[in-house]
Amino acid sequence: MKKPEKIEPACPLIKEPCVEDGCCWWAKMERRNVSSGAVESYGVCAVVAQVGVICENSAAVNRMATTLQELRNETAVIDRRLQKSIIPALN
């Protein structure tokens, strides 16, 4: 069986092989390993990573909007209950 050929990463901007650390778009990223708590550093092309960051940001905004809508609904229910109990007491 033949070994698959190693595919060289190509730059999305200039369509040539990636030069990694020699490129101004190469960014150092850090993430925390959830199980061990250790900080891991790695390099990534900022142009490619931007797509993932935008998707993660969009998901976070959607979660926040859902939470805010739930809070608004809960506040509206409490407001209606208060109006029903306070208005008759004033009459």
Residue 4 in any domain: the answer is no
What is the extent of the structural domain holding 66? 20-90
Residue 3 in any domain: the answer is no
Q: pLDDT at position 16, please?
A: 86
Residue 24 in any domain: the answer is yes
Q: pLDDT at position 71, please?
A: 96
pTM of the model: 0.55
Residue 59 in any domain: the answer is yes
Residue 5 in any domain: the answer is no
Stretches where the chain sits below pLDDT 70 are: 1-4, 89-91
Q: pLDDT at position 82, please?
A: 87
Q: What is the DSSP string of 28-73?
A: EEEEE-TTT--EEEEEEEHHHHHHHHHHHHHHHHHHHHHHHHHHHH
Domain tally, the chain: 1
Residue 52 in any domain: the answer is yes
